[in-house]
Chains A and B, each alone.
Chain A
Amino acid sequence: MTAASMSVQALVGRFATDTPFELPVIDYRLLMPILIILGAGVVSVVIEAFAPRRARRPLQLILVLGSLVAAFIAVVGLAGTQTTTAAGSIAVDGPALVMQGAILVIALLGGLLMAERMVDPSGDAFAPRASALPGSDDERQFAARGYLQTEVWPLFLFAVGGMLLFPASNDLLIMFVALEVMSLPLYLLAGLARRRRLLSQEAAMKYFLLGAFSSAFFLYGAALIYGYAGSVDLPVIAAQLSGKPSESAIVLIGLGMLLVGLLFKIGAVPFHQWTPDVYQGAPTAVTGFMAATVKIAAFGALFRVLYVAFGGMRWDWAPMMWIVAILTMLIGSIIAITQTDIKRMLAYSSIAQAGFILVGLIAASPAGLAGAMFYLIAYGFTTIGAFAVITMVRDGNGEATHLSKWAGLGKKSPLVATLFSVFMLSLAGIPLTSGFIGKFSVFTAAIEAGAGWLVIVAVVASLIAAFFYVRVIVLMFFSEPNDQTATVAIPSVFTTIALAAAATITIVLGIVPQPLIELLANADVFVR
């Protein structure tokens, strides 16, 4: 026993008067995925601090990819677990593990995208030195010398750690902390783009201010609920709700405020306005990563809050969620129609997609949860694939995100255009793609739950959405390339793997979805 621990014992001993200070039983095996990632984050910081500059990138890559794989293996190892740990504050159950697994795999692809340094001749996707002023001599110097901001890797790992924690958090405090652990690195990453730094910084600021604003709402909601229930533990809240029916307004207000924070993260209307700006401004690799993973993590938390703690109040929140879902689907789809920037268009599309997933949420059934999880996974892979393509489509000024530059791309680079079309078709929900099965599962659950009219609205929204997905295909394949047309950069193995994986999963999940459906069907119950 070391001296330090001895002194801790001594301290404990001195303060403990009546009740002995018992350390909680924490099964670290259950927390292994989270611990691996957060631990890797710490190691990553150490690498930044001590490794020579040249060695940082390879070390970080090995660490990041290795830890993601290790964490994923740990998640797989936990399959079937249905328990809570750490004094009930962490749930290790089906949905949590599914979401963690999905986040890890998508984060792996996102990490590959972030590691790409072939498509941009001047380096990777990030500013060589974020602190150097845009356009300054310093910045040019750093760029010319091939400096890389390798600090993105610890940030990335912490973000992933937060994401793993978010859907697994079984009390509101953990949830709040996880929210921040997830968000803070993302705020930073959003501002680190190598090109168009003004936009990137603007995105970071908007994301940060609005994110902080929304978490204040979340927190205040948590406070009110705590006031009502006397605990921030979700199962305790649920028990209290069924136990004492009075004092209801405070719960309603608390729930509402809590939902503001969560709906903000998933980008639901009217809390969606940060999405297009941030998606457009952030480095594309980061956009792809966070568009996919944040949605999964936040939906995980939203589902857990609404199902575990407030499942009994379904008839209170369902009508409101109906309206939010309808607005989200329609407004996201409608505004996307007139977008001219592909990243922005995908941002609005992600809003619309969030609406579709909300349809599954409203079903308030295991089938709805399973459907939404399928949808999230499908959406995640498709989205990261789409953004991967965007990173490759470039002109002299970096990524060519204006749609007019995509005209005729199908003739110039048929393979990439075809892949992008597959992603678009999947997002549009055309059969034989994962997006279709996702929509199908979610709609099925909703109709089973009696939300037929919501599905009709969703169908109308999908139609509107199909228009702009198809428009990209029209542009790529049905117009002639001109001198404005962007070129497709040849990526390194990183992006290639990410793209290939995303496309494969998009199609495979569209054709043989059964294994995943089965998996989800076995994982559609929250631990209480």
Chain B
Amino acid sequence: MINAGAVVWAEGAPVLQEVMPATGVFSLIWLLIALPLFGAAVLLLGGRHTNKWGPYLGVLTVFGSAVIAVLMLLGLMARGAEERSIGQSLFTWVFAGRFEVNMAFQLDQLSLVFVLLITIVGTLIHIYSLGYMSHDPDKRKFFGYLNLFVGAMLLLVLANNYLLLYVGWEGVGLASYLLIGFWQIKPTAAAAAKKAFIINRVGDVGLSIAIMVIFVTFGSVTFSDVFGQAGSANEGTLTAIGLLLLLAAAGKSAQFPLQAWLLDAMEGPTPVSALIHAATMVTAGVYLIARSNAIYDRAVWAATAVVVVGLITIFMGAIIGSAKDDIKKSLAGSTMSQIGYMIMAVGLGPIGYVFAIFHLLTHGVFKAGLFLGAGSVMHGMKDQVNMRRYGALRAAMVVTFVTFMAGYLAIIGIPPFSGFWSKDEIIHAAFERSPIIGGLAILAAGITGFYMTRMVAMTFFGKARWEDDVHPHESPAVMTIPLIILAIGSTFLGMALLFWGNIETWLEPVVGFATAKSPISTTTTIALSLAFVIVGAVIGWISYARREVPIVAPRGSWLTRAARQDLYGDAVNESLVVRPSFLLSRVLIWFDSRVVDGIVNGSAAIVGGSSGRLRRYQSGFARSYALSMVGGAVFVLLALVLVRLS
């Protein structure tokens, strides 16, 4: 079906860049990470004293990083294309035998775009949170965690080796855990947080083992060493590494089969969903695969697996997004689906990397906008998340509505909104690989049109289905300004990156680039996808804007019901993993106390019991003592004689 073997990717692969020493503004790479971490440390350790100014410190530190990032962007742009990979090594971190890992960073074109995304979107979301969380008593902690997240995420993308990347990787997982469970008093939130962490750990196992394979194979885990030698490794090893990294990516990016945590993760505050579970952290998987392009380019089967996982997730996310009534969960489904696109794209090789990153950036902006918009809606609706209780909000929240629409148009891919450019490129590239992949991608784009329209229709159009005590109102400026900025981004970022920023050439030295030789032309792709999107949108509009939306959800088809159950992801986990584990645990507890300890206590009891029996022979009768002496004498004599005879 998908003919992987036929593809030859040698062309378009990047030539390894020489790493330049960090000078000038680039010597501040460490500060990028340290600033937010410093903020986190102050906020988390400072206690109540920082309640007042702490959140602002949080914003400032992230903003500071953003400023440095922008300065670095300017610095990189000022350099020649071959001088844009900059390394900074602080000290040797872990070392033993041949194993040596430095606390070292690598700033290149790929990391920089991530740094920019993280710091800028991060700043916006921090600002937004000032308003969103203004009444929360634990606001300080929230900002501390957010800062921790930003720091960890920056570490993830700036690390120059896999092990340090792993630190960021789990660091963001920790931040995600803390933030999902921010309202710990709700047992659901705490459970969701734990679930996210544990499922992520499964992915982390993949990353761990991948690092081990890499070390065993290449003798180093530093990117430059690994990629430099990737050509001489055999394909089997590379495939193994690729698949393991895919497992890691699937965990972090909520891809099939480790997708189940993302929907529950919506228990966290909305800015968290926007920053972590939409814009940045969940795209770490894409970064990982894109970063490891040197491996995937030589491990075609691994790349194919990436494509398949991506495709499956695109549809799972889309289907779930179409069925959820909870606005955040619907958006989460959409996120899964969109990341599925990116994952699929990075699986396509040099024709896809750039566009995956491109889509990642645009998606980061518009999905953040959408989430923040949803947060704004919730803010005005007394934290109601059920879209069946919304409707006709466009008048009550004008700014939110307008900005949300920008995001909407971007995600469904209407030109010239940014999502159009990025998604379309991916679909186009997919066709080069296989018409089936391309076709499926286009079909999914149609579903995107449907569910996003459904969301918009249920939220902003139709009749008001509000609860009685709800008085929708627009959010304060501190929340709307980020919305506006993100809306602008949703609108123009695609064009800006593509036409002004030349993203292909920018990224090419890192991930390589090859123009897709699609069997169908670009125009055809655009036309087809637009057609599907519009059909989807129309169906959505008809079903949810024209028709009355029942407050209580109808039973729906089996697919709807399955989608509401997250396509039974939890049920599968529960019956295949969780319940057997706890059963095993209980069996082992029994085994430990009865069998293992039983043997110990049993042997003690045997000794004690034989003591009780043996002492009865000490009967107190002198004659029986004499008898045992005579018996002993017979024994002694016999033993002596027998030994002599033998």
Same complex origin of A and B: yes
Mark A residues whose CB is within 8 Å of B. Answer: 205-206, 209-210, 213-214, 217, 248-249, 252-253, 255-257, 259-260, 263-264, 269-271, 273-274, 276-277, 315-317, 319-320, 323-324, 331, 334-339, 464, 467
Chain B residues with CB under 8 A of A269: 632
Q: Which of B607, B625, B626 contacts A464 (CB 8 A)?
A: B607
Bound together, the chains give a CA A217 to CA B633 distance in angstroms of: 9
Q: Is the CB of B640 within 8 A of A257?
A: no
Chain B residues with CB under 8 A of A339: 615
Bound together, the chains give a CA A323 to CA B637 distance in angstroms of: 13
With A210-B625, A260-B632, A274-B625 already in contact, the answer to whether A334 and B611 are too (CB < 8 A) is: yes
Q: Is the CB of B614 within 8 A of A334?
A: yes
Nearest CB in chain B: distance from A462 CB, A:
13
Q: Does B644 contact A (CB under 8 A)?
A: yes
Q: Is the CB of B614 within 8 A of A335?
A: yes
Chain A residues with CB under 8 A of B632: 260, 263, 269-271
Bound together, the chains give a CA A222 to CA B289 distance in angstroms of: 94
Q: Is the CB of A338 within 8 A of B611?
A: yes
Q: Is the CB of B614 within 8 A of A252?
A: no
Most B C-beta atoms less than 10 A away, residue of A210, A213, A273: A273
Number of A-B contacts (CB under 8 A): 91
Q: Which of B615, B629, B631 contacts A338 (CB 8 A)?
A: B615
Bound together, the chains give a CA A252 to CA B641 distance in angstroms of: 7
Q: Is the CB of A206 within 8 A of B622?
A: yes
Q: Which of B607, B631, B643 contacts A270 (CB 8 A)?
A: B631
Chain B residues with CB under 8 A of A336: 611
Chain A residues with CB under 8 A of B604: 467
Secondary structure class of chain A's binding surface, majority of residues:
helix
Q: Is the CB of A210 within 8 A of B614?
A: no
Question: 9 closest Cβ contacts across the A-B interface?
Answer: A270-B632, A273-B625, A320-B639, A256-B637, A337-B611, A338-B611, A252-B640, A256-B636, A260-B633
Nearest CB in chain B: distance from A85 CB, A:
32
Nearest CB in chain A: distance from B47 CB, A:
43
Q: Which of A213, A249, A324 contacts B636 (CB 8 A)?
A: A324
Bound together, the chains give a CA A150 to CA B125 distance in angstroms of: 101
Q: Mark B613-634, 1 if CB is under 8 A from A, else 0.
A: 0110010101011101101110
Bound together, the chains give a CA A467 to CA B641 distance in angstroms of: 37
Bound together, the chains give a CA A316 to CA B640 distance in angstroms of: 6
Bound together, the chains give a CA A334 to CA B618 distance in angstroms of: 13
Q: Is the CB of B614 within 8 A of A316?
A: no
Chain A residues with CB under 8 A of B637: 252-253, 256-257
Q: Which of B608, B629, B631 contacts A264 (CB 8 A)?
A: B629
Nearest CB in chain B: distance from A477 CB, A:
21
Q: Is the CB of A335 within 8 A of B618?
A: yes
Task: List 13 contacting pairs A-B, 8 Å CB cutoff, sorted by A.
Answer: A210-B626, A213-B629, A249-B641, A253-B640, A253-B641, A257-B633, A259-B636, A260-B629, A260-B633, A260-B636, A270-B628, A273-B625, A273-B628
Chain A residues with CB under 8 A of B3: none
Chain A residues with CB under 8 A of B607: 334, 337, 464, 467
Nearest CB in chain A: distance from B646 CB, A:
9
Q: Which residue of B lies closest to A208 (CB)?
A: B622
Q: A252-B637, A317-B640, A334-B611 are in contact. List 11 more A-B contacts (CB 8 A).
A: A252-B641, A253-B637, A256-B637, A256-B640, A257-B637, A260-B633, A273-B628, A320-B643, A334-B607, A334-B610, A339-B615
Bound together, the chains give a CA A249 to CA B644 distance in angstroms of: 9
Mark B residues whose CB is within 8 Å of A. Answer: 604, 607-608, 610-612, 614-615, 618, 620, 622, 624-626, 628-629, 631-633, 635-637, 639-641, 643-644
Q: Is the CB of A214 within 8 A of B629?
A: yes
Q: Is the CB of A277 within 8 A of B644?
A: no
Q: Is the CB of B626 within 8 A of A338?
A: no
Nearest CB in chain A: distance from B625 CB, A:
4
Q: Is the CB of A255 within 8 A of B629?
A: no
Q: Which residue of A lies closest to B609 (CB)?
A: A338
Q: Which of B612, B626, B644 contacts A209 (CB 8 A)?
A: B626
Chain B residues with CB under 8 A of A257: 633, 637
Nearest CB in chain A: distance from B285 CB, A:
56
Q: Which residue of A lies closest to B616 (CB)?
A: A335
Bound together, the chains give a CA A252 to CA B626 distance in angstroms of: 22
Q: Is the CB of A205 within 8 A of B636?
A: no
Chain B residues with CB under 8 A of A255: 640
Chain B residues with CB under 8 A of A317: 640
Chain B residues with CB under 8 A of A338: 608, 611-612, 615
Q: Which residue of B lies closest to A270 (CB)?
A: B632
Nearest CB in chain A: distance from B298 CB, A:
59
Chain A residues with CB under 8 A of B618: 273, 276-277, 335
Nearest CB in chain A: distance from B607 CB, A:
6
Q: Which residue of B lies closest to A322 (CB)?
A: B639
Q: Is the CB of A323 within 8 A of B615?
A: no
Q: Which residue of B lies closest to A269 (CB)?
A: B632
Bound together, the chains give a CA A217 to CA B629 distance in angstroms of: 10
Q: Is the CB of A315 within 8 A of B643?
A: yes
Bound together, the chains give a CA A274 to CA B629 distance in angstroms of: 10
With A205-B622, A276-B618, A334-B610 already in contact, the answer to whether A210 and B629 are too (CB < 8 A) is: yes
Bound together, the chains give a CA A331 to CA B611 distance in angstroms of: 8
Bound together, the chains give a CA A445 to CA B101 distance in angstroms of: 53
Chain B residues with CB under 8 A of A320: 636, 639-640, 643
Nearest CB in chain A: distance from B148 CB, A:
48
Nearest CB in chain A: distance from B183 CB, A:
47
Bound together, the chains give a CA A331 to CA B618 distance in angstroms of: 11
Chain B residues with CB under 8 A of A253: 637, 640-641
Q: Is the CB of A335 within 8 A of B611?
A: yes
Bound together, the chains give a CA A255 to CA B636 distance in angstroms of: 9
Chain A residues with CB under 8 A of B610: 334
Chain A residues with CB under 8 A of B626: 209-210, 213
